[in-house]
C-alpha cells in the first residue's frame, strides 16, 4: 500500500554491530593501559575502524536525503523576478496545519537527536576524564625509583652481613621504609661485589627474618648523601625465614620450603665515590652458586605469589606495572 506524506514514524537507527566493535576497542585500550602498549595500539585501531564504520552507517540516511534533494533534471532554473503579490492574494506562506503530510520533520528530529547525544557525550567526558586521569595516570608517571645512599664501603666489612633499614622516599615518610640484607662479597674483577636481598617475602609480603643472631647493641646509624639516614645492624644468618606461613629461603635467597614460589627479590646497586647506592628491586627465580660467583636468573619485579618463569607464569593473573 502506498504511503502518503512520507515516513511518519520515529526515526530509529538500523540495528548495527559497529557500536559493539567500538566498545570492544575502548575496552582493549583501557586493558592495554594496564597490560602493554601493543594492546593499546590494537585497541585504538579497532576503535578507529569501528567508529568510522559506525559514523558512516549512522549518516547513510542523511547522505541519501541530500542526494534526493538534487533535482532529477539537473540544477534548478533561475527564478524569474516577479511582481510582489498583495497579502490577501496568493497562497499561504506556510503549509496549512492540517496538511501535516507535507511538513518535513526529519531535520529537527535529527538536530534534537544529535544535540542530545552531543550534550550527553560532553557531560560524560567532563565527568569521566578527570576521574580516569587521576586513577590511571599516576601509575605511568613518576615511576623512577631514586637511588638510596646506604653508606660507605667501609660500613660493610667483607664477608659480613648487615641489616640495612632506610626510607626509600623520605618525602613519603615511614610508608616507604625498607629493609635489605647486604653482604660485601669482596672484589670481583677488580670491582666491589655485593649481595643485596629484599626482606619482602615473595609469598604474601611479610618481612623475612635472618636465621641467625643479630647484634642490636652494635647497631649504628650512617648518613648518606641528601641527608638519608640508614640503620645498619650486624647479623650472621645461615638462612632466612618468614614468620607468617613458614616460608624458608637459603642464604642466597632461594626458596627451600613453604608457600613462596620463587627466590627472594634483590636490589640493584651501584658504587660511586666509595659509597654504596641501592636502586630498584627485581625478581629472581633462582640463584645458582654463592656470593660473587652466583649466577642470578633475574626478572622484572613481580608481585607476591607471582611465578616469574615456567608454565605458571603464563597462568597467573595480569599484574599492574610496579
Ligand atoms: S608471607 Fe611469607 S610465607 Fe606467607
Domain boundaries, the chain: 14-69, 148-315
Ligand 1 atom nearest to CA at 205: 1
Q: Which residue stretches of 59-173 are H helix?
A: 60-68, 106-136
| Mean pLDDT confidence for 53-75 | 67
Strand intervals (E) in the chain: 148-152, 161-167, 177-188, 191-198, 209-210, 220-223, 229-235, 240-241, 248-249, 255-257, 263-272, 275-288, 295-299
Nearest atom in ligand 1 to the alpha carbon of residue 304 is: 1
Do the domains 148-315 and 14-69 match in fold? no
- Where is pLDDT greater, at 18 or 276? 276
Contact call for residues 70 and 63 (beta carbons, < 8 A): no
Residues 13-27 have a mean pLDDT of: 82
pLDDT at 1: 42
Kindly report the protein residue whose alpha carbon is nearest to atom 4 of ligand 1: 245
Ligand 1 contact, 203 CB (< 6 A): yes
246 CA closest ligand 1 atom index: 3
Query: Closest ligand 1 atom to the C-alpha of 259?
Result: 3
Q: From the CA atom positions of the chain, what is the Rg in Å?
A: 36
| Domain 148-315, CATH among 2.102.10.10, 1.20.1090.10, 3.40.50.720, 3.60.15.10 | 2.102.10.10
C-alpha grid cell for residue 67?
542526494
Of 287 and 169, more confident: 287
Please tell me the number of Cα atoms within 13 Å of 239 on its side-chain side. Answer: 12
pLDDT tens across 181-207, in order? Answer: 999 999 988 889 999 999 999 999 999
Q: Does 200 sit in the ligand 1 pocket, CB within 6 Å?
A: no
pLDDT for 69 equals 52
The average pLDDT across 31-51 equals 85
Per the listing, cell 511582481 goes with 83
Structure confidence at residue 250 (pLDDT): 95
Question: What phi and psi values does residue 211 have, to the nearest 5 degrees?
Answer: -90, 75
* Measured distance between the N- and C-terminal CA atoms of the chain, rounded to whole angstroms: 68
Contact (Cβ atoms closer than 8 angstroms) between residue 151 and residue 131: no
Q: Is the beta carbon of 211 within 6 A of some atom in ligand 1? A: no
CATH no. for 14-69: 1.10.287
pLDDT of amino acid 83: 67
Q: Is 204 in the pocket of ligand 1 (CB under 6 A)?
A: yes
199 CA → ligand 1 middle, Å: 11
- pTM of structure: 0.60
By most ligand atoms within 8 Å of CB, the mutation choice from 198, 242, 262 for ligand 1 is: 242
The kind and range of the H/E element at 209 are strand 209-210
Q: CA-to-CA distance for 179 and 172, rounded, in angstroms?
A: 16
Sign of the Cα torsion 80, 83, 87, 89 reads negative
Cβ neighbours of residue 156 closer than 8 Å, sequence gap 6 or more = 162, 182, 183, 184, 194, 276
Amino acid at each position: 500500500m502506498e504511503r502518503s506524506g512520507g515516513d511518519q514514524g520515529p526515526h530509529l537507527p538500523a540495528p548495527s554491530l559497529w557500536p559493539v566493535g567500538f566498545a570492544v576497542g575502548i575496552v582493549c585500550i583501557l586493558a592495554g593501559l594496564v597490560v602493554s602498549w601493543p594492546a593499546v595500539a590494537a585497541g585504538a585501531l579497532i576503535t578507529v575502524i569501528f567508529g568510522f564504520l559506525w559514523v558512516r552507517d549512522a549518516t547513510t540516511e542523511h547522505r541519501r536525503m541530500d542526494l534526493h534533494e538534487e533535482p532529477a533534471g539537473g540544477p534548478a532554473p533561475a527564478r524569474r523576478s516577479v511582481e510582489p503579490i498583495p497579502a490577501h492574494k496568493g497562497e499561504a506562506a506556510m503549509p496549512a496545519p492540517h496538511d501535516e503530510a507535507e511538513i518535513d520533520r526529519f531535520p529537527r528530529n535529527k538536530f534534537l537527536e544529535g544535540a542530545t547525544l552531543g550534550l550527553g557525550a560532553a557531560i560524560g567526558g567532563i565527568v569521566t576524564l578527570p576521574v580516569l586521569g587521576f586513577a590511571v595516570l599516576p601509575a605511568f608517571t613518576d615511576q623512577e625509583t631514586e637511588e638510596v645512599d646506604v653508606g660507605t664501603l667501609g660500613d660493610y666489612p667483607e664477608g659480613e652481613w648487615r641489616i640495612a633499614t632506610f626510607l626509600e622516599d623520605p618525602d613519603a615518610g615511614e610508608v616507604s621504609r625498607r629493609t635489605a640484607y647486604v653482604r660485601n662479597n669482596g672484589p670481583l674483577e677488580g670491582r666491589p661485589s655485593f649481595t643485596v636481598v629484599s626482606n619482602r617475602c615473595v609469598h604474601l609480603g611479610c618481612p623475612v627474618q635472618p636465621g641467625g643472631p643479630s647484634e642490636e647493641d652494635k647497631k649504628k646509624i650512617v648518613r648518606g648523601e641528601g641527608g638519608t639516614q640508614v640503620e645498619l645492624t650486624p647479623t650472621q644468618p645461615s638462612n632466612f625465614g618468614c614468620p607468617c606461613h613458614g616460608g624458608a629461603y637459603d642464604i642466597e635467597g632461594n626458596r627451600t620450603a613453604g608457600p613462596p614460589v620463587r627466590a627472594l627479590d634483590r636490589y640493584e646497586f651501584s658504587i660511586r665515590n666509595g659509597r654504596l647506592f641501592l636502586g630498584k628491586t627485581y625478581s629472581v627465580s633462582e640463584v645458582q652458586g654463592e656470593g660473587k660467583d652466583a649466577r642470578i636468573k633475574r626478572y622484572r619485579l613481580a608481585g607476591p605469589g607471582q611465578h616469574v618463569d615456567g608454565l605458571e607464569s603464563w597462568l597467573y593473573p595480569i599484574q599492574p606495572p610496579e
